[in-house]
Amino acid sequence: MRSRGLGGFAAGSFVAVAVLWSFATTDVDFSRIMSAGPRIADFLGRMIPPDPTVMDEIIKGSAETLRIAILGTLGAVVLSVPFGVLASDTMAPPALYQPVRTLLAFIRAIPLILVAMLLVGAVGLGPLPGMIAIAFHATGMLAKFYAEAIDGVSRAPISALESAGAGSLARLRYAIWPQMAPVVVRDTIFRFELNLRESLILGIVGAGGIGFYIQTYVRSFQYEKAASVSLAVIALVIAIEAFNVALRRRFA
Amino acid sequence: MSAVAQIDDVSFAHPGSELRALQRLSFRVAAGETVAVLGPSGAGKTTLLTLLDGRLHGWRGLVSVLDAPLDPDQPQPRARRADTGFIFQEFALVERSTVLRNVINGRLGRMPPLRAFLGNSSPRDLKIARDALIDCGIADLAERRVDSLSGGQRQRVAIARCLAQEPLLILADEPVSNLDPARAAEILALLTGAARSRNATVLFSSHQPELACRFAERVVGMRDGRIVFDAPAANLTNDTTAELYRETAPFSRPSLRAVG
Ligand SMILES: Nc1ncnc2c1ncn2[C@@H]1O[C@H](COP(=O)(O)OP(=O)(O)OP(=O)(O)O)[C@@H](O)[C@H]1O
Ligand SMILES: [Mg+2]
């Protein structure tokens, strides 16, 4: 009990020091927040009405974002199948699945935007670094989900098919896959939705997609155009959500 | 009559378990017999049936099924696995597949591997599956998904899958433990009747002595991995079965102990 009390005190002191240090060394001027109201109103006011002349850019940018998300997700699926198998404790020995799981956790911990920036440096501007970044980043989560889908399969129907004399491929198709399929489809759709949302910002670091136009218009004070593109982004997210709901219902 | 299953002095402990689930067990089933195995939970009934199905490894002793010895260190060849059918205590059906698909799954061991995987069942496979559905009284459920069925209906699907496999020996692990008494008698009548008309031998486990005596010709009592009695159903008394399920020191009389 005593040591726990000491530990609690140490943790409390640490948090207090961290907060004080942040206040003391950062320029936190609260009066700026107070005077921000009119400026935000002015900003929003200039966004209305949205500028319809950027329709071409919206369509081009949305299409590119969609392509980045689709191909990025495809890449993530291709990578996640083998890594999912290697990270599953029913398919791989501990000596294999433990390091693979650690690797996946490490990949998940790297922010997408950082991966995208590094890739823009490596392969140049455009949608290609965006796709690779999405594929890499999403694999950290999707491979983990696939491994869980494999490990969640009930053994009994597999034993039943084994008892009937079915070979391993037939067991995979008729006992393992039917149990896994809804989970795999659901997780893949979920990840696609995340990929689409996350790929909207990739343009900010030059990795392609609609985010590029928001960035450009805000930087050049063309707020009406920025507003139109932002509205298109919101509409896109809602459309994807509706599409996913329909898909999930189909595969429930 | 020739032996469909013969076990000599077999002992087995599940991996990671100190306890021997089978202890120097000897046992024989003749062709065409219907045998019931009774015994309290943990007696080793499921273990015995799984052994005969060729799915245990590392046991000691001699086991021969359908005139061929089983190897305790090697998985059983695919062709032989199809000759013993197993009905699982918890059905072991693929919940999200249809009834017909589950029953066709019973035929996978009878098809060439590539055709089994590709799923183009022959007209003969389909006919056998459909006949099994009719025999089990569930032809109208063929296209229903298993996760929408009741316990009694699932039990029928599990039996139909086993019949579609065309096994020579049917091992049924508590095929009626999940059902109400009326349904239980119905299912046992169905199972033993279908087996008889196909000349298959049946070994089923149960916790219900009256049903066991009614549907089996011979009743075997198990306890702690040993056989404690083995008698024609007609000779079995209530006292014997009551003693089997008693909490402590059953069959302490020397005459009966000698049987185990
Ligand atoms: N997979 C397993 N791993 C370890 N021990 C097991 C395993 N399966 C069974 N056992 C043990 O083996 C013994 C026999 O079990 P078994 O399942 O054969 O009994 P049973 O007669 O079928 O019981 P029930 O009537 O409850 O189905 C029990 O002590 C059980 O705990
Ligand atoms: Mg059992």
Q: Which fold has domain B84-166?
A: Rossmann fold (3.40.50)
Mean pLDDT of A199-206: 87
Ligand nearest to the CA of A155: 1
Residues A8-45 pLDDT 10s:
899 999 999 999 888 887 777 777 777 788 878 877 77
pLDDT of residue A54: 86
Q: Which residues of B touch A168 (CB under 8 A)?
A: none
Domain with CATH 3.40.50.300 in chain B: 1-75+169-191+200-260, 84-166
Lowest average pLDDT, out of B54-68, B161-175, B228-242, goes to B228-242
Q: What number does CATH give the domain B1-75+169-191+200-260?
A: 3.40.50.300
Mean pLDDT throughout B117-131? 93
- State the ligand closest to the CA atom of B173: 2
Q: How far apart are CA B139 and CA B130, in angstroms?
A: 7
Q: B44 CB near a chain A CB, below 8 Å?
A: no
- For chain B positions 63-92, those within 8 Å of chain A (CB to CB) are 78-82, 84-86, 88, 90-92
pLDDT value for A32: 78
The answer to whether residue A194 sits within a structural domain is yes
Is A26 a member of any domain?
A: no
Inter-chain residue contact A161 with B86, CB threshold 8 Å: no
Residue A44 lies in a domain: no
A133's CB contacts (< 8 A; 6+ apart) are A72, A112, A115, A116, A119, A202, A207
Output the average pLDDT for chain B: 91
Look up residue B198 and give its DSSP letter: T
Q: How many domains does chain A divide into? A: 1
pLDDT given for residue A134 in this prediction: 96
Best residue in B83, B103, B108 for a mutation probing chain A (most A CBs within 10 Å): B108
Answer yes or no: is A241 within a domain. yes
Q: Do B100 and B142 meet the contact criterion of CB atoms below 8 Å apart?
A: yes
B70 Cα to the center of ligand 2, angstroms: 22
Beginning with the edge strand found earlier in the chain, give each strand of the sheet holding B3-13 in spatial order: B20-30, B3-13, B60-65, B68-69
What are B183-231's pLDDT values in tens digits? 899 999 999 999 999 999 999 999 999 999 999 999 999 999 999 999 9
pLDDT of residue B248: 64
A53-80: per-residue pLDDT in tens? 888 888 999 899 999 999 999 999 999 9
Output the domain CATH number for residue A94.
1.10.3720.10
From the CB of B132, is ligand 1 less than 6 Å away?
Answer: no
| pLDDT at B101 > cutoff 90 | yes
**Span B16-24, mean pLDDT?**
93
